């Protein structure tokens, strides 16, 4: 649990401190009052980077440094930001240990819902791949390393394709390595989707009070049961086309994860409320997976989550939130507060 937080020269904050509740904290204020900045500061302190902008934007305008101090039940962590020579550096101090980056073992489990998450349904495949791969990095110890190796190998193959010196023989060594790594990534994604399927459907049904069947499916031209071997065959077959294009056209970096409502692509048939509910159902399962992986409940950061949910969906979401420390931003406290008669802390912002 996060007991308190202090922000100095962080985005819109000069020097502000907040005492926090172990249950629900409602951050209320008009637009541009710093609501999203507050929950973002928790995320950066917990997991090392923002979901919005680069590190340069984290320091308050015209300040040379910024700082976030978080007091937990059993430890303290500090995020230090400094601007020098047009470059921003970060340091993390966890109790008495200073780090320049946070490893998976140093993460505080956090789940964030923010409006741009809706693009996961309606946006490009890249956004969906990024979401599920980032989740796998958090819950599967070796996935990040395999993902980095895949990206490096892919870059080397693409560089050879563009060099003018590519032949079937000298590309083959990269094909073999890329398909080995690609098979690992595709298998991890598929296992994750399989583990999410039933519970995500149940969560969607609970929140939406709907009979819609929500499914997650992995879309790839490669055979899932023998992904590496099939990818290797397809890389060889696509060699000449890849040389003409200058990039690799087969592999996990081109695959997609499709969300369907009653066997129709959600991006085509889902309303904003249905899309928001589907993402929330996924986020609920993300929270459960992180709790299992880290053996502690994650902190939930919900940015403007209630605005497009009807009363029934708000009540069902509220039932889930009661079990976690949560931060909910809103411009209208009345919309949220009525669902939390107990254990509710209001954080008013005006600047």
pLDDT tens for the chain, 351 residues: list them.
999 999 999 999 999 999 999 999 999 999 999 999 999 999 999 999 998 878 889 999 989 999 999 999 989 999 999 998 889 999 999 998 999 999 888 999 999 998 888 888 888 999 999 999 999 999 998 999 999 999 999 999 999 999 999 999 999 999 999 999 999 999 999 999 999 989 999 999 988 888 899 999 999 999 999 999 999 999 999 999 999 999 999 999 999 999 999 989 998 998 888 888 999 999 999 999 999 999 999 999 999 888 778 888 888 888 888 889 999 999 988 878 777 766 689 999 986
Nearest-angstrom CA–CA distance, 208 and 286: 18
**pLDDT tens figures, 54-99:** 888 999 998 999 999 999 998 999 999 999 888 999 999 999 899 9
Q: Options 3.30.1390.10, 2.40.110.10, 3.40.50.620, 1.20.1050.90; which CATH number does 117-295 get?
A: 1.20.1050.90
pTM of the shown model:
0.91
d(CA 26, CA 326): 8
Give CATH for domain 1-109+299-351: 3.40.50.300
Q: Distance between CA atoms of 132 and 282, rounded to whole angstroms?
A: 10
Question: What is the Cα–Cα distance from 234 to 229, expressed in whole angstroms?
Answer: 9
Q: What is the pLDDT of residue 47?
A: 93
49 — alpha (psi -120 to 50), left (phi > 0) or beta? beta
> What tokens appear for 207 in the block?
């929140």
Asked, colleague to colleague, whether 1-109+299-351 and 117-295 share their fold, the answer is no
Instruction: Report domain extents, the chain.
Output: 1-109+299-351, 117-295
């Amino acid at each position: 649990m996060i007991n308190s937080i202090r922000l100095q020269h962080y985005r819109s904050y000069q020097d502000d401190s907040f005492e926090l509740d172990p249950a629900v904290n409602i951050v209320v204020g008009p637009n541009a009052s710093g609501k999203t900045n507050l929950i973002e500061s928790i995320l950066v302190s917990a997991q090392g980077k923002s979901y919005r902008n680069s590190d340069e934007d984290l320091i308050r305008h015209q300040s040379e440094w910024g700082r976030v101090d978080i007091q937990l039940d059993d430890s303290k962590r500090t995020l230090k930001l400094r601007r020098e020579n047009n470059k921003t550096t970060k340091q993390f101090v966890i109790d008495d240990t200073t780090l320049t980056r946070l490893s998976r073992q140093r993460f505080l489990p956090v789940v964030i819902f923010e409006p741009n998450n809706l693009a996961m349904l309606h946006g490009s495949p890249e956004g969906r791949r990024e979401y599920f791969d980032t989740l796998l990095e958090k819950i599967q110890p070796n996935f990040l390393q395999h993902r980095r190796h895949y990206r490096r190998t892919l870059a080397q193959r693409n560089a050879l394709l563009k060099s003018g010196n590519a032949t079937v023989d000298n590309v083959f060594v990269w094909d073999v390595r890329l398909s080995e790594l690609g098979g690992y990534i595709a298998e991890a994604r598929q296992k994750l989707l399989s583990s999410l399927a039933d519970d995500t459907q149940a969560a969607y049904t609970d929140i939406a009070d709907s009979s819609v069947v929500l499914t997650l499916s992995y879309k790839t031209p490669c055979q899932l049961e023998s992904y590496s071997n099939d990818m290797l065959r397809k890389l060889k077959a696509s060699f000449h086309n890849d040389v003409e294009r200058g990039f690799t056209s087969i592999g996990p970096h081109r695959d997609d994860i499709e969300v369907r409502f009653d066997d129709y692509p959600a991006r085509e048939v889902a309303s904003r409320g249905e899309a928001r509910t589907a993402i929330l159902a996924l986020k609920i399962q993300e929270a459960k997976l992180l709790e299992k992986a880290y053996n502690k409940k994650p902190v939930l950061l919900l940015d403007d989550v209630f605005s497009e949910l009807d009363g029934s969906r708000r009540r069902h979401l509220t039932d889930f939130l009661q079990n976690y420390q949560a931060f909910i931003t809103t411009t209208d406290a009345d919309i949220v507060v009525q669902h939390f008669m107990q254990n509710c802390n209001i954080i008013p912002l005006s600047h």
